[in-house]
Amino acid sequence: MDGVYVTNGVAVVFDVPAMLPGALRIELRNCVCDGGAQICVRGYSGEPASDRSLEVSVSGLSGGYCSLVFVHNLPARTNVTVRDSTIVMAGPMRHSQLSGLTDAVASPLVLYATSLLRSQLRVSNTVLRSLHVGGSAVYVGGGVDLLSSAVVLDGVLLEASGSPTAFAMHVASSSRLSLRSHSVLSVTNVSVVSSGGGI
């Protein structure tokens, strides 16, 4: 998708299990996501297919009312890159039923009920901003497991200024963020602006 405008609550869902086997590349360049729209990469509810590889590249994404969601188990050796983007969550979100998320989750970047095996999620030179009450710049829920994987935030602004209950990065109380087998959560050159909690 290059230069596409997504708005008015539309959910763009990339349903990985429904796509043809083999190497899969999802690329979004210079797109606008606004008006309560969401972009969702949906993995497998069970064990990911072994014949699948996935690369997701997001660059130049902008929007004042948008959510980027990664949900369920992604294939091994998945590589996700988000760079040079400004993603803002300005209000409540009506999530796609495919995601399994409740509408209470109001964050520009969401990781939900997913596992990463020998994979990497890198966010660089990007603004993640939540202006909604109780929102967070990054939301982790439903149980997120990293196995020999890395989540890297480099040169990122995390802003959550909607209320005293906002968080820059929030792991839901009923959830977990598990790092196993030499997994890494790297935070470098990151700025945090929050009216509530930090990371």
pLDDT, averaged in runs of 10, over the chain (199 residues): 93 92 94 93 90 94 93 95 96 70 78 93 97 89 93 96 85 87 94 85
**Within a domain: residue 72?**
yes
Query: How many domains does the chain divide into?
Result: 1
Q: What is the pLDDT of residue 21?
A: 84
Distance in angstroms (rounded) separating the CA atoms of residues 182 and 118: 10
Backbone angles phi, psi at 183, to 5 degrees: -75, 160
Domain, as residue range, for 40: 5-194
pLDDT score at 51: 84
In a domain, 199, yes or no: no
Give a yes or no: residue 128 inside a domain: yes
Number of residues assigned to the chain: 199
The predicted pLDDT at position 172 comes to 84
- Is residue 25 included in any domain, yes or no? yes
Contact 5, 12 (CB under 8 A): no
pTM of the model: 0.92
Domain membership of residue 177 (yes or no) is yes
> Within a domain: residue 79?
yes
Residue 35 lies in a domain: yes
Residue 162 lies in a domain: yes
